[in-house]
Amino acid sequence: MVETITIRRPDDWHLHLRDGAMMEAVLPYTARQFARAIVMPNLSPPVTTAKAAAAYRDRINAALPGGMDFTPLMTAYLTDDSDPEDMAAGFADGIWVAAKLYPAGATTNSASGVTDIRKIDAVVAKMEEIGMPLLAHGEVTQDHVDIFDREARFIDEVAVPLLKRHPALKFVFEHITTRDAAQFVADGSDRIAATITPQHLQINRNAIFKGGINPHAYCLPIAKREEHRLAVRAAATGGSGKFFLGTDSAPHAKSAKESACGCAGIFNAPHAIEAYAEVFEEEGALGRLEAFASLDGPRFYGIVPNEERVTLEKVEVEVPAEIDDGTEPLVPYRAGTMMRWRLASA
């Protein structure tokens, strides 16, 4: 008998879908697994208006293959010029469910991001008032701060003062990678939560340099030391309810990853739920996978969990070396390796 686990259908609370041909190529991988996803707004140009978010949502829905059931949840890209009333109107109209803070220069398409957190204080105050979550790329960006320290420095320099000014703000520390961030979230109020990616549960920073430079292990925030990976794994599988699934799947063309200045981002959408299942199994916590993947995110966002159930089977599947159904080849996370779980009928 094949071992199986059945859970409510999961959601992805942090996803880059891109646009155009790339979006059409990657969307089915997410929709195969997840009922809903928080779609990141760092397009070029970024999604800063409700009108642009609604148009992007419509393009995603139009690209969804027939028979697939998937709902994109849109987000606003915060800039120094974001307007509190525009932010609130897009939220009230149900066009976006949250706003994303990219510190300017922190990552892909973040050049129009926020240059100083104080500049968006009125917007954050409005979000606090109306219960609109702020999703943070939690890294400082100064050149003199070591890349491996940028997340921890964000806590003291940005998150703590921000949440002191706005104690009722709903705040998601996105894609946490450190013991420091896990601790900060665990110690915070129930308005503070975090998403966790598959790669930050499975690789430490050695993966980026093993046998040479491995561009497909490079994402931001960058993978950290083993002790941090272990702390993040304990947070994900520990059942606190504050840590939930967010893949941060971030496709870039193979040629853009394997270049002299390779882009940051790991395309993990093809086998994300399977990767999480491996981690929860290894930690003896398979019984907590459903809460992490399907219950704790909806609870934080105030959305009902999915009714549909999906089954994972303990059957090995090989991740393709390359995915070539868009305009340009993509290299998926765990390319060419075996996954120990398989989503049934997928």
Task: Summarize as ranges the residues that interact with Zn ion (CB under 5 A).
Answer: 248
Please choose which of ligand DOR, Zn ion, none residue 145 contacts, taking the beta carbon within 5 to 8 angstroms, the exact cut-off set by kind: none
Nearer to Zn ion, 269 or 286 (CB): 269
Cα Rg for the chain, rounded, in angstroms? 19
**Does residue 333 contact residue 266 with C-beta atoms inside 8 Å?**
yes
Is 12 catalytic? The answer is no
Cα within 13 Å of Cα(341), Cβ side: 24
Please choose which of ligand DOR, Zn ion, none residue 274 contacts, taking the beta carbon within 5 to 8 angstroms, the exact cut-off set by kind: none
DSSP for 25-70, written as a single string: HHHHHHHHH-SEEEEP---SS---SHHHHHHHHHHHHHHSPTT---
Least distance to Zn ion from the beta carbon of 309, Å? 28
Q: CA distances (Å), 260 to each of 20, 219, 323, 332, in order? A: 25, 15, 22, 20
Counting contacts by CB under 6 A, is residue 138 touching ligand DOR? no
Size of the site for ligand DOR (CB under 6 A): 10
DSSP for 301-318, written as a single string: HT-PPP--EEEEE---EE
Counting contacts by CB under 6 A, is residue 17 touching ligand DOR? no
DSSP letter at 215 equals G
Task: Spot the catalytic one: 11, 12, 180, 248.
Answer: 248
Counting contacts by CB under 6 A, is residue 108 touching ligand DOR? yes
Residue labelled with tokens 């922190």: 106
Please choose which of ligand DOR, Zn ion, none residue 219 contacts, taking the beta carbon within 5 to 8 angstroms, the exact cut-off set by kind: ligand DOR
Nearer to ligand DOR, 99 or 286 (CB): 99
In the list 26, 124, 163, 219, the residue contacting ligand DOR (rule: CB under 6 A) is: 219
Angle at 229 between CA 199 and CA 74, to 5 degrees: 45
Best CA proximity match to 216, nearest among 155, 260, 266, 273: 266
- Residues contacting 291, CB < 8 A, separation 6+: 239, 241
Least distance to Zn ion from the beta carbon of 195, Å? 9
Counting contacts by CB under 6 A, is residue 264 touching ligand DOR? yes
> How far apart are alpha carbons 319 and 335 in whole angstroms?
5
In the list 14, 16, 216, 334, the residue contacting ligand DOR (rule: CB under 6 A) is: 16
Counting contacts by CB under 6 A, is residue 100 touching ligand DOR? no
Q: How many CB atoms lie within 10 A of CB 345?
A: 8
Nearer to ligand DOR, 48 or 107 (CB): 107
* Chain length of the chain: 346
Nearer to ligand DOR, 23 or 220 (CB): 220
Nearer to ligand DOR, 106 or 319 (CB): 106
Which positions touch ligand DOR (CB under 6 A)? 16, 42, 107-108, 137, 219-220, 250, 264-265
Catalytic residues: 248
